[in-house]
Structure 1
Amino acid sequence: MTANDTAAGTESVVDFYRAKAKSVGIVLEADDLATAADLQATTDDIAALDAALAADGRTITTKSGTVKMHPAVAAVRQLRMTRARLASVMDARILAARSTSGAASGGQTGIRGVYTGDGSQNQGRDNERGARRGKGRVARPRAGRGA
Protein backbone atom coordinates (compact mmCIF):
# COMPACT_ATOMS: atom_id res chain seq x y z
CA MET A 1 0.00 0.00 0.00
CA THR A 2 1.43 3.30 -1.00
CA ALA A 3 0.79 6.84 0.06
CA ASN A 4 -1.41 7.17 -3.04
CA ASP A 5 -3.49 4.18 -1.90
CA THR A 6 -3.93 5.77 1.52
CA ALA A 7 -4.95 9.09 -0.06
CA ALA A 8 -7.47 7.26 -2.22
CA GLY A 9 -9.19 5.85 0.89
CA THR A 10 -7.39 2.52 1.24
CA GLU A 11 -6.29 1.87 4.80
CA SER A 12 -2.61 1.76 5.69
CA VAL A 13 -0.92 -1.37 7.00
CA VAL A 14 -0.87 0.09 10.52
CA ASP A 15 -4.59 0.83 10.32
CA PHE A 16 -5.22 -2.69 8.99
CA TYR A 17 -3.49 -4.30 11.98
CA ARG A 18 -5.15 -1.92 14.44
CA ALA A 19 -8.53 -2.96 13.04
CA LYS A 20 -7.55 -6.63 13.11
CA ALA A 21 -6.46 -6.35 16.75
CA LYS A 22 -9.62 -4.45 17.65
CA SER A 23 -11.77 -7.15 16.04
CA VAL A 24 -10.32 -9.73 18.46
CA GLY A 25 -10.54 -7.34 21.40
CA ILE A 26 -6.93 -6.34 21.98
CA VAL A 27 -4.96 -3.10 21.74
CA LEU A 28 -1.59 -3.10 19.99
CA GLU A 29 1.38 -2.14 22.14
CA ALA A 30 4.22 0.16 21.09
CA ASP A 31 6.42 -2.69 19.83
CA ASP A 32 3.50 -4.07 17.80
CA LEU A 33 2.96 -0.64 16.26
CA ALA A 34 6.69 -0.37 15.48
CA THR A 35 6.56 -3.72 13.67
CA ALA A 36 3.47 -2.58 11.77
CA ALA A 37 5.25 0.68 10.86
CA ASP A 38 8.21 -1.34 9.52
CA LEU A 39 5.72 -3.39 7.53
CA GLN A 40 4.22 -0.18 6.12
CA ALA A 41 7.68 1.17 5.20
CA THR A 42 8.56 -2.11 3.49
CA THR A 43 5.31 -1.99 1.55
CA ASP A 44 6.03 1.61 0.49
CA ASP A 45 9.57 0.66 -0.62
CA ILE A 46 8.19 -2.21 -2.71
CA ALA A 47 5.74 0.17 -4.40
CA ALA A 48 8.53 2.64 -5.21
CA LEU A 49 10.77 -0.10 -6.64
CA ASP A 50 7.87 -1.55 -8.64
CA ALA A 51 7.32 1.91 -10.14
CA ALA A 52 11.01 2.12 -11.05
CA LEU A 53 10.83 -1.30 -12.68
CA ALA A 54 7.71 -0.29 -14.60
CA ALA A 55 9.51 2.81 -15.91
CA ASP A 56 12.94 1.27 -16.59
CA GLY A 57 12.06 -2.34 -17.38
CA ARG A 58 13.53 -5.46 -15.81
CA THR A 59 16.86 -5.05 -17.56
CA ILE A 60 19.23 -2.13 -17.85
CA THR A 61 22.11 -1.38 -20.19
CA THR A 62 25.39 -0.47 -18.52
CA LYS A 63 27.77 2.23 -19.80
CA SER A 64 29.78 -0.47 -21.54
CA GLY A 65 26.68 -1.68 -23.39
CA THR A 66 26.14 -4.86 -21.41
CA VAL A 67 22.53 -5.74 -20.65
CA LYS A 68 21.96 -6.93 -17.10
CA MET A 69 19.13 -7.41 -14.64
CA HIS A 70 17.84 -4.24 -12.97
CA PRO A 71 19.12 -4.05 -9.36
CA ALA A 72 15.58 -3.34 -8.16
CA VAL A 73 14.52 -6.89 -9.09
CA ALA A 74 16.64 -8.42 -6.32
CA ALA A 75 15.68 -5.66 -3.89
CA VAL A 76 11.96 -6.21 -4.48
CA ARG A 77 12.37 -9.97 -4.02
CA GLN A 78 14.12 -9.43 -0.68
CA LEU A 79 11.61 -6.82 0.48
CA ARG A 80 8.71 -9.14 -0.33
CA MET A 81 10.25 -11.83 1.88
CA THR A 82 10.75 -9.23 4.61
CA ARG A 83 7.13 -8.12 4.28
CA ALA A 84 5.89 -11.72 4.53
CA ARG A 85 8.02 -12.32 7.62
CA LEU A 86 6.84 -9.14 9.32
CA ALA A 87 3.22 -9.98 8.50
CA SER A 88 3.60 -13.47 9.99
CA VAL A 89 5.12 -11.95 13.14
CA MET A 90 2.23 -9.48 13.46
CA ASP A 91 -0.36 -12.21 12.93
CA ALA A 92 1.34 -14.45 15.50
CA ARG A 93 1.46 -11.65 18.05
CA ILE A 94 -2.24 -10.95 17.61
CA LEU A 95 -3.05 -14.67 17.91
CA ALA A 96 -0.85 -14.98 21.01
CA ALA A 97 -2.52 -11.98 22.65
CA ARG A 98 -5.93 -13.39 21.84
CA SER A 99 -5.22 -16.90 23.18
CA THR A 100 -5.80 -17.75 26.82
CA SER A 101 -2.38 -19.38 27.25
CA GLY A 102 -0.43 -16.37 25.92
CA ALA A 103 1.32 -18.47 23.27
CA ALA A 104 0.64 -18.66 19.56
CA SER A 105 -1.42 -21.65 18.53
CA GLY A 106 0.72 -24.60 17.49
CA GLY A 107 1.37 -25.56 13.91
CA GLN A 108 1.51 -22.01 12.63
CA THR A 109 5.05 -21.71 11.40
CA GLY A 110 4.92 -18.68 9.11
CA ILE A 111 7.54 -17.96 6.47
CA ARG A 112 10.87 -19.78 6.63
CA GLY A 113 13.13 -17.98 9.08
CA VAL A 114 10.34 -16.73 11.31
CA TYR A 115 8.87 -19.45 13.48
CA THR A 116 5.70 -18.34 15.18
CA GLY A 117 4.32 -21.67 16.41
CA ASP A 118 4.87 -23.06 19.89
CA GLY A 119 7.08 -25.93 18.66
CA SER A 120 4.85 -28.67 20.05
CA GLN A 121 4.58 -30.51 16.75
CA ASN A 122 8.37 -30.67 16.43
CA GLN A 123 8.90 -31.67 20.05
CA GLY A 124 6.36 -34.47 19.74
CA ARG A 125 8.01 -35.75 16.57
CA ASP A 126 11.50 -35.60 18.08
CA ASN A 127 10.42 -37.36 21.28
CA GLU A 128 8.77 -40.11 19.25
CA ARG A 129 11.92 -40.64 17.17
CA GLY A 130 14.09 -40.56 20.27
CA ALA A 131 12.02 -43.26 21.95
CA ARG A 132 12.35 -45.52 18.89
CA ARG A 133 16.12 -45.33 18.58
CA GLY A 134 17.46 -44.39 21.99
CA LYS A 135 19.41 -41.25 22.75
CA GLY A 136 23.03 -40.18 22.37
CA ARG A 137 26.12 -42.00 21.17
CA VAL A 138 25.59 -44.90 23.51
CA ALA A 139 22.46 -45.84 21.56
CA ARG A 140 24.19 -45.25 18.23
CA PRO A 141 27.91 -45.93 18.62
CA ARG A 142 30.12 -45.25 15.64
CA ALA A 143 32.47 -47.89 14.31
CA GLY A 144 35.65 -48.07 16.36
CA ARG A 145 34.26 -45.98 19.24
CA GLY A 146 33.06 -46.95 22.62
CA ALA A 147 33.60 -50.06 24.65
Structure 2
Amino acid sequence: MKQYILLVLLFVTLQTKAQTSEIFAPDSIALRGYDVVAFYTEGKAITGSDKFMYNWKNVKWLFASAEHLALFKANPANYEPQYGGYCAYGLARGYKAPTMADTWHIQENKLYFNYNQKVKTTWQKEQQRFIDSANRKWPEVKFQ
Protein backbone atom coordinates (compact mmCIF):
# COMPACT_ATOMS: atom_id res chain seq x y z
CA MET A 1 0.00 0.00 0.00
CA LYS A 2 2.82 2.36 0.88
CA GLN A 3 4.45 1.76 -2.54
CA TYR A 4 1.14 2.46 -4.26
CA ILE A 5 0.78 5.81 -2.48
CA LEU A 6 4.37 6.74 -3.38
CA LEU A 7 3.72 5.88 -7.04
CA VAL A 8 0.55 8.00 -7.06
CA LEU A 9 2.41 10.93 -5.50
CA LEU A 10 5.22 10.58 -8.03
CA PHE A 11 2.72 10.51 -10.91
CA VAL A 12 0.89 13.61 -9.62
CA THR A 13 4.18 15.44 -9.18
CA LEU A 14 5.30 14.61 -12.72
CA GLN A 15 1.93 15.61 -14.17
CA THR A 16 1.98 18.91 -12.30
CA LYS A 17 5.50 19.64 -13.53
CA ALA A 18 4.53 18.90 -17.13
CA GLN A 19 1.51 21.19 -16.97
CA THR A 20 3.43 24.07 -15.41
CA SER A 21 6.05 24.07 -18.15
CA GLU A 22 5.92 26.92 -20.64
CA ILE A 23 6.80 24.40 -23.38
CA PHE A 24 4.85 21.24 -24.18
CA ALA A 25 7.64 18.83 -23.32
CA PRO A 26 6.72 15.30 -22.29
CA ASP A 27 9.77 13.76 -20.61
CA SER A 28 11.47 17.20 -20.81
CA ILE A 29 11.73 16.95 -24.61
CA ALA A 30 9.99 19.71 -26.56
CA LEU A 31 7.12 18.57 -28.77
CA ARG A 32 7.82 14.89 -28.22
CA GLY A 33 11.15 15.28 -30.04
CA TYR A 34 9.93 16.71 -33.33
CA ASP A 35 12.21 19.13 -35.15
CA VAL A 36 10.43 22.53 -35.07
CA VAL A 37 12.60 23.93 -37.86
CA ALA A 38 11.50 21.13 -40.21
CA PHE A 39 7.90 22.36 -40.15
CA TYR A 40 9.15 25.55 -41.81
CA THR A 41 11.91 24.19 -44.04
CA GLU A 42 10.58 20.74 -44.99
CA GLY A 43 6.85 21.34 -44.61
CA LYS A 44 6.36 18.20 -42.53
CA ALA A 45 6.85 16.64 -39.11
CA ILE A 46 10.31 15.10 -38.77
CA THR A 47 11.63 13.48 -35.62
CA GLY A 48 14.80 15.05 -34.29
CA SER A 49 17.87 13.26 -32.97
CA ASP A 50 19.73 13.35 -29.66
CA LYS A 51 22.78 13.99 -31.83
CA PHE A 52 21.42 17.48 -32.59
CA MET A 53 20.06 18.60 -29.23
CA TYR A 54 19.79 22.06 -27.72
CA ASN A 55 18.60 23.07 -24.24
CA TRP A 56 16.35 26.12 -24.32
CA LYS A 57 13.68 27.24 -21.82
CA ASN A 58 14.60 24.33 -19.55
CA VAL A 59 13.72 21.61 -22.08
CA LYS A 60 15.58 19.65 -24.75
CA TRP A 61 14.88 20.51 -28.38
CA LEU A 62 15.83 17.87 -30.94
CA PHE A 63 16.69 18.52 -34.58
CA ALA A 64 17.09 16.34 -37.65
CA SER A 65 20.30 18.02 -38.80
CA ALA A 66 23.12 20.31 -37.74
CA GLU A 67 21.70 22.92 -40.12
CA HIS A 68 18.32 22.92 -38.36
CA LEU A 69 20.04 23.11 -34.98
CA ALA A 70 22.08 26.11 -36.13
CA LEU A 71 18.98 27.88 -37.48
CA PHE A 72 17.17 27.39 -34.18
CA LYS A 73 20.14 28.47 -32.06
CA ALA A 74 20.51 31.65 -34.11
CA ASN A 75 16.95 32.74 -33.35
CA PRO A 76 14.75 30.35 -31.34
CA ALA A 77 11.83 32.80 -31.32
CA ASN A 78 11.53 32.39 -35.12
CA TYR A 79 10.78 28.69 -34.73
CA GLU A 80 9.25 28.33 -31.27
CA PRO A 81 5.63 27.19 -31.62
CA GLN A 82 2.86 29.44 -30.40
CA TYR A 83 1.67 28.76 -26.85
CA GLY A 84 4.74 26.60 -26.25
CA GLY A 85 3.37 23.90 -28.54
CA TYR A 86 0.22 23.36 -26.48
CA CYS A 87 -3.13 23.09 -28.28
CA ALA A 88 -4.12 26.44 -29.83
CA TYR A 89 -7.83 25.62 -29.50
CA GLY A 90 -7.42 24.64 -25.85
CA LEU A 91 -5.59 27.89 -25.14
CA ALA A 92 -8.43 29.83 -26.76
CA ARG A 93 -10.68 28.20 -24.17
CA GLY A 94 -8.27 28.99 -21.34
CA TYR A 95 -6.42 25.72 -20.69
CA LYS A 96 -3.34 23.79 -21.79
CA ALA A 97 -3.78 20.55 -23.69
CA PRO A 98 -1.23 18.21 -25.27
CA THR A 99 -0.79 18.10 -29.02
CA MET A 100 0.04 15.76 -31.87
CA ALA A 101 2.66 16.63 -34.51
CA ASP A 102 0.32 15.89 -37.42
CA THR A 103 -1.94 18.80 -36.41
CA TRP A 104 0.62 21.50 -37.20
CA HIS A 105 -0.24 24.61 -39.15
CA ILE A 106 1.76 27.72 -40.05
CA GLN A 107 -0.08 31.01 -40.35
CA GLU A 108 1.67 34.35 -40.77
CA ASN A 109 4.99 32.59 -40.11
CA LYS A 110 3.81 31.26 -36.74
CA LEU A 111 3.61 27.55 -35.90
CA TYR A 112 0.45 26.23 -34.22
CA PHE A 113 -0.55 22.78 -32.99
CA ASN A 114 -3.82 21.19 -31.88
CA TYR A 115 -4.88 18.27 -29.71
CA ASN A 116 -5.93 16.08 -32.65
CA GLN A 117 -7.29 16.35 -36.21
CA LYS A 118 -10.90 16.76 -35.07
CA VAL A 119 -9.94 19.71 -32.85
CA LYS A 120 -7.83 21.17 -35.66
CA THR A 121 -10.86 21.09 -37.97
CA THR A 122 -12.92 22.99 -35.36
CA TRP A 123 -10.06 25.45 -34.80
CA GLN A 124 -9.71 26.16 -38.52
CA LYS A 125 -13.37 27.14 -38.87
CA GLU A 126 -12.78 30.28 -36.78
CA GLN A 127 -9.03 30.27 -36.63
CA GLN A 128 -8.42 34.01 -36.23
CA ARG A 129 -11.00 34.32 -33.46
CA PHE A 130 -9.42 31.39 -31.62
CA ILE A 131 -5.91 32.83 -32.09
CA ASP A 132 -7.03 36.20 -30.73
CA SER A 133 -8.58 34.50 -27.70
CA ALA A 134 -5.54 32.27 -27.12
CA ASN A 135 -3.21 35.28 -27.37
CA ARG A 136 -5.18 37.00 -24.60
CA LYS A 137 -5.27 33.91 -22.37
CA TRP A 138 -1.71 32.62 -22.86
CA PRO A 139 -0.07 35.00 -20.34
CA GLU A 140 -2.55 33.81 -17.68
CA VAL A 141 -2.01 30.08 -18.20
CA LYS A 142 1.59 30.03 -19.47
CA PHE A 143 3.06 28.68 -16.23
CA GLN A 144 -0.02 27.00 -14.75
Bin the TM-score by the shorter chain. Answer: under 0.3
Determine which structure has greater relative contact order: mean sequence separation of CA pairs < 8 Å that are 6+ residues apart, divided by chain length: 2
Normalized per residue, the structure richer in strand is 2
- TM-score with structure 1 length normalisation? 0.23
Normalized per residue, the structure richer in helix is 1
- TM-score with structure 2 length normalisation? 0.24
- Bigger radius of gyration: 1
